[in-house]
Structure 1
């Protein structure tokens, strides 16, 4: 024997019929908190703020940043090939 029952109701009606609590106000409050936190943290995702946190404080402009990278490349190159500065012409 096979019995089929079709129930046509909304989720709110099913929740009330089964005696489950209505958690929608709590969900709305949590979503509001999450939205506020996300909005507050979006300021930290700006490129300028990211560079300030990732790079050392002595690197403040593009020229200094370029010199910093060249010095790192020079250190790596001198350790591998014995050359001191890759920007200088070879003699």
Structure 2
């Protein structure tokens, strides 16, 4: 024997009937918190801040960065190994 019962109710009515807590206020609070954190992190993503974060403290201006960059090109990575 198979019995089917269809219940037409809203999610709020079903939650109340089953005795489950209403988590909507908590969800709204958490979403507000997530939004605030995302906005704070976006402020740290501006190019100047990223550049300062990625570069070592010793490189304070563009000339030093260029010298370091070109000095790496002057080295031949193939000349330092063993000869075969």
The TM-score range, normalised by the shorter chain, is 0.7 to 0.9
Q: TM-score normalized by structure 1?
A: 0.73
Greater percentage in helix: 1
1:64 Cα deviation after fit: 3.6
After TM superposition, the structure 1 = structure 2 runs for residues 5-84 of structure 1, keeping only pairs within 5 Å, are 5-75=5-75, 77=76, 79-81=77-79
SS in 2 for 1:45: coil
Please list every run of 5 or more consecutive structure 1 residues that lacks an aligned counterpart in the other structure.
83-91
Q: TM-score normalized by structure 2?
A: 0.78
Residue-pair matches, total: 80
Taking CA–CA contacts closer than 8 Å with sequence separation of 6 or more, which of the two structures ends up with the larger relative contact order? 1
Deviation beyond 3 Å, 4+ runs, structure 1:
57-64
Please list every run of 5 or more consecutive structure 2 residues that lacks an aligned counterpart in the other structure.
none
